[in-house]
Chains A and B, each alone.
Chain A
Amino acid sequence: MKHITDDDLTLLYYGEHENPDLAAEVARSPELSQRFETLSAELMRIDELMPPVRKDDYGSEVWRQIESRLTPDYVPAASRWKTWFSNMMQPRFSLAGALSLALVASLAFMLGRQANQPDQLAPATMDTQTVAAIPGLDTGRLLTASVSGHLDQLNLELTRFANESGAASTEAERATDMLVANRLYRKAAADQGKHQLAQFLAELEPLLIELAYEAHKASPQTLNRMQQEVRDTLLFRLRVMNQQLKQPQIST
Chain B
Amino acid sequence: MAFRELVLEHSHAMFRLAWRLCGDENAADDIVQEAFLKAWRKIGGFRMQSGFRSWLHRITVNTAMDYLRKQSRVSRHETGAPELEHMAAGASQPRHDIQIDVQEQAHAAMMNLSDTERAALMLRHFEGHTIKEIAQILDMSTSACKQAVFRAVKKMRIELAPLVTT
Contacts and interface: CB of A to CB of B under 8 A. Distances in A.
A76 B43 contact: yes
Contacts of A46: 106, 110, 121, 125, 156, 160
Contacts of B157: 6, 39, 42-43
A6 B154 contact: yes
A60 B157 CA distance: 38
The majority secondary structure among interface residues of chain A is: helix
Nearest to B153: A10
Contact of A42 (B105, B128, B160): B160
Contacts, number: 130
Nearest to A89: B9
B94 interface: no
A209 B5 CA distance: 23
Interface residues of A, number: 47
Contacts of A214: 13, 16
A49 interface: yes
Interface string B140-166: 000000000110011011001101100
A65 to B, nearest CB: 5
B163 A81 contact: no
B19 interface: yes
Contacts of B163: 45
Interface residues of B, number: 53
Contacts of A7: 150
The majority secondary structure among interface residues of chain B is: helix
A85 to B, nearest CB: 6
Contacts of B33: 62, 65-66
Nearest to B51: A87
Given A7-B150, A84-B52, A88-B9, A52 B125 contact: no
Contact of B37 (A48, A49, A59, A70): A70
A50 B164 contact: no
B106 A69 contact: no
A54 interface: yes
A45 B37 CA distance: 34
A74 B103 CA distance: 42
Contacts of A39: 157
B4 interface: yes
A70 B3 contact: yes
B74 interface: no
Contact of A48 (B5, B41, B103): B103
A205 interface: yes
B142 to A, nearest CB: 11
B11 A73 contact: no
10 contacts: A6-B154, A42-B164, A43-B153, A43-B160, A46-B106, A46-B125, A51-B20, A66-B33, A70-B40, A85-B5
Interface of B: 2-13, 15-16, 19-20, 25, 28, 32-33, 36-37, 40-41, 43-44, 48, 52-53, 102-103, 105-107, 110, 121, 124-128, 130-131, 149-150, 153-154, 156-157, 160-161, 163-164
The 3 A-B residue pairs whose C-beta atoms are closest, nearest first, are A81-B2, A59-B8, A59-B11
